[in-house]
């Protein structure tokens, strides 16, 4: 049972969805129909998830269907219950989305790189698909789908699916069954560039060169994962560069990763995000968390795979740097978090599943897998992972499935590692792996020399080393800036760290970039921490309020509610 869905797949299971949608940029609505094909058995009622959808009518194969839209729950939305005639195999729901659809962002031309065309994109994870499609919105149900999408002339529509243009209509087909949170759509002034035989990038024309450079290693990454964990099963792997208001770094929509433009650093230093989203093609998209309490099975596995890709492509140093930085982030975050949220298998009763999206499922999850790897060695652990992906391919798995499978396949690891404690106890178990990076240790040594007055040469430092420098150096920011010019950085990750420090220290030259950053970028990880840092002092609060008033309309609904919570409590 998934507590975040009103659907009852144990009674009726939807197998395929046909979408027919108009993208109306003027009214900021999707309108059309969703035809759901299902196995109903003897059941006479189909219960779907919706949020803020306006349902005009419902048909079944013999005529009009009686339906009832239940009361709206603030977290879950409203259940749509449809009466089925005996033997029914499909229903067609005619509907339109609302202006407040939580899974859609309608961007004004001013919010795009080209400034002339509007842009729409969806973000369905965790439970936002229901705000643009009436469906069984649970990761325990998988569907194939097809879609016809109409856009205003000159705009391109893309979906995470096989795509084909025909007579001004965009057609899509997804032959592999996917959970609802992986259904995606975007429309805007897009161009395409091939990266390899089975990969490419969609971006606004102004960003296409930069994106093609940044993502040039995509095919190499695909081959790296295939060597370790088996064939890529989705045909193509393309990336879509979204407007900067995209609230996440990336979203692993199958066949078409959605990505923030803030990773276009010009030096490929932030491509761990591509490794991460690509890795989801195995962990998450192929083998899927059964409920949002099992989210660590998606993200912990994916971070583990991401680091293995980095190691294979760029060497151990790079993977260790990222793991070490992330370990420190995890410690910082856990120190400020309620201990009930320290656990991998999380209790989300009465809560929004987005609340469970902390570093715990990501980094504690990856540490847990690393702990298991250390017991049995890499070779056996890789064999185990590969057979996990093969055994549960195109299925949903719960934490208990993992425990069982681990006990059967790697009994020695299951005995040597405190599995229960990893899954259900707060904190990090004693004896957990401790990531260590020699390169970052050298940065620390350099910081000490520099603080003692020596000159240090940082010209060859990577983004990760520069980040570590900022996190360990303690000196007046004016001095750091004069020598290293962080205020001028074009790297979003470094700028974010620098702005956090500038807020803390009241360093005005850098703060001049803050308003601009917060009004153009909507990536939640960045804006949440910056607003939270501002909110710590009365002057900061005033600055935050002034910036937020201007910035809020340009943020995605998910980012708006995050910042609302930070500033309004
Ligand atoms: N699937 C997540 C994004 C997500 C999680 C969206 C939960 C909605 C709810 C994606 O794979 C992800 O983890 N993105 C990270 C980047 C990654 C490199 C850690 C992000 O967006 O920061
Ligand atoms: Zn992820």
Q: Which helix (H) or strand (E) holds 95?
A: strand 90-96
* Cβ 46 under 6 angstroms from ligand 1: no
Residue-wise pLDDT tens digits, 412-459 = 999 999 999 999 999 999 999 999 999 999 999 999 999 999 999 999
Q: Which helix (H) or strand (E) holds 173?
A: strand 169-179
* Cβ 307 under 6 angstroms from ligand 1: no
> Residue 569 pLDDT > 90, yes or no?
no
C-alpha of residue 251 to centroid of ligand 1, in Å: 6
* Cβ 525 under 6 angstroms from ligand 1: yes
Q: Which of 129, 248, 325, 326 to mutate to test the pocket of ligand 1 (most atoms within 8 A of CB)?
A: 248
CB 496 within 8 A of CB 513: no
* Cβ 139 under 6 angstroms from ligand 1: no
* 44, 225, 397, 449, 536 from 221: Cα distances, Å: 48, 6, 26, 38, 42
Pairing of strands 142-150, 90-96: unpaired
Distance CA 555, CA 518 (A): 10
Residue-wise pLDDT tens digits, 361-384 = 999 999 999 999 999 999 999 999
pLDDT band at 400 (very low <50, low <70, confident <90, very high): very high
* Cβ 384 under 6 angstroms from ligand 1: no
What is the structure's pLDDT at 261?
A: 98
The DSSP symbol for 73 reads B
What is the structure's pLDDT at 80?
A: 98
Q: Catalytic amino acids?
A: 277, 362
Q: At what angle do helices 378-391 and 365-376 cross, to 10 degrees?
A: 120
C-alpha of residue 302 to centroid of ligand 2, in Å: 6
Distance CA 493, CA 322 (A): 13
DSSP string, 418-459: THHHHHHSSS--TT------HHHHHHHHHHHHHHTT-----T
What is the structure's pLDDT at 165?
A: 79
The DSSP symbol for 364 reads I
What is the structure's pLDDT at 167?
A: 76
> Residue 198 pLDDT > 80, yes or no?
yes
Peptide bond into 296 cis (omega under 30): no
C-alpha of residue 358 to centroid of ligand 2, in Å: 11
* Cβ 251 under 6 angstroms from ligand 1: yes
> Residue 12 pLDDT > 90, yes or no?
yes
CB 50 within 8 A of CB 82: no
Length of the chain (residues): 569
Q: Which atom of ligand 1 is nearest to the CA of 284?
A: 1
C-alpha of residue 453 to centroid of ligand 2, in Å: 42
Residue 126: nearest ligand to its CA?
A: 1
Distance CA 63, CA 41 (A): 20
CA angle centred on 76, ends 297 and 130, rounded to 5°: 80
Strand residue runs (E) in 197-310 = 199-203, 237-241, 250-251, 256-259, 287-289
Residue-wise pLDDT tens digits, 203-216 = 999 999 999 999 99
State mean pLDDT over 463-486. 96
C-alpha of residue 248 to centroid of ligand 1, in Å: 6
């Amino acid at each position: 049972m998934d507590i975040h869905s009103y659907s009852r797949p144990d009674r009726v299971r939807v197998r395929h969805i046909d979408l027919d949608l108009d993208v109306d940029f003027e009214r900021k609505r999707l309108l059309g129909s969703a035809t759901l094909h299902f196995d109903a058995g003897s059941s006479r009622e189909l219960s779907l998830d919706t949020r803020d959808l306006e349902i005009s009518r419902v048909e079944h194969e013999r005529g009009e269907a009686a339906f009832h839209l239940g009361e709206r729950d603030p977290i879950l939305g409203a259940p749509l219950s449809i009466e089925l005639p005996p033997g029914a195999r499909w229903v067609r729901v005619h509907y339109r989305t609302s202006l407040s659809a939580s899974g859609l962002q309608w961007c004004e031309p001013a919010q795009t790189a080209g400034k002339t065309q509007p842009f729409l994109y969806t973000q369905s994870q965790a439970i936002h698909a229901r705000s643009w499609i009436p469906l069984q919105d649970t990761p325990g149900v998988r569907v194939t789908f097809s879609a016809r999408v109409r856009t205003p002339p000159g705009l391109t529509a893309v979906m995470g699916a096989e795509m084909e243009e025909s007579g001004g209509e965009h057609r899509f087909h997804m032959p592999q069954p996917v959970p609802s949170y992986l259904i995606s759509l975007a429309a805007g002034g897009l161009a395409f560039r091939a990266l390899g035989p089975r990969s490419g990038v969609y971006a606004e024309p102004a960003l296409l060169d930069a994106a093609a450079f940044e993502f040039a290693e995509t095919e190499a990454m695909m081959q790296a994962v295939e060597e370790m964990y088996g064939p890529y099963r989705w045909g193509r792997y393309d990336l879509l560069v979204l407007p900067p208001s995209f609230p996440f770094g990336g979203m692993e929509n199958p066949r078409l990763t959605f990505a923030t433009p803030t990773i276009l650093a010009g030096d490929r230093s932030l491509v761990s995000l591509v490794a991460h989203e690509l890795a989801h093609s195995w962990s998450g998209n192929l083998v899927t968390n059964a409920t949002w309490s099992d989210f660590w099975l998606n993200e912990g596995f994916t971070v583990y795979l991401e680091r293995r890709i980095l190691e294979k492509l760029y060497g151990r140093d790079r993977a260790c740097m990222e793991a070490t930085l992330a370990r420190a982030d995890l410690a910082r975050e856990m120190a400020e978090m309620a201990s009930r949220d320290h656990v991998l298998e999380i209790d989300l009763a009465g809560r929004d599943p987005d609340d469970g999206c902390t570093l715990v499922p990501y980094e504690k999850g990856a540490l847990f897998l690393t702990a298991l790897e250390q017991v049995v060695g890499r070779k056996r652990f890789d064999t185990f992972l590969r057979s996990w992906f093969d055994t549960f391919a195109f299925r949903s798995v719960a934490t208990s499935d993992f425990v069982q499978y681990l006990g059967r396949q790697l009994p020695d690891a299951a005995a040597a590692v405190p599995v229960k404690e990893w899954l259900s106890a707060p904190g990090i178990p004693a004896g957990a792996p401790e990531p260590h990076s020699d390169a970052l240790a050298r940065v620390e040594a350099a910081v000490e020399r520099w603080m003692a007055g020596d000159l240090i040469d940082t010209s060859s430092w990577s983004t990760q080393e520069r980040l570590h420098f900022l996190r360990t150096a303690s000196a007046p920011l004016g001095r750091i800036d004069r020598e290293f010019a962080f205020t001028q950085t074009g790297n979003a990750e470094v700028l974010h760290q620098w702005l956090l420090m500038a807020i803390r220290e009241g360093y005005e030259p850098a703060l001049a970039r803050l308003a601009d950053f917060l009004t153009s970028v909507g990536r939640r990880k960045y804006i949440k921490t910056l607003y939270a840092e501002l909110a710590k002092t009365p002057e900061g609060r005033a600055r935050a309020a002034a910036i937020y008033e201007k910035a809020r309309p340009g943020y995605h609904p998910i980012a708006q509610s995050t910042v609302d919570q930070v500033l309004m409590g």
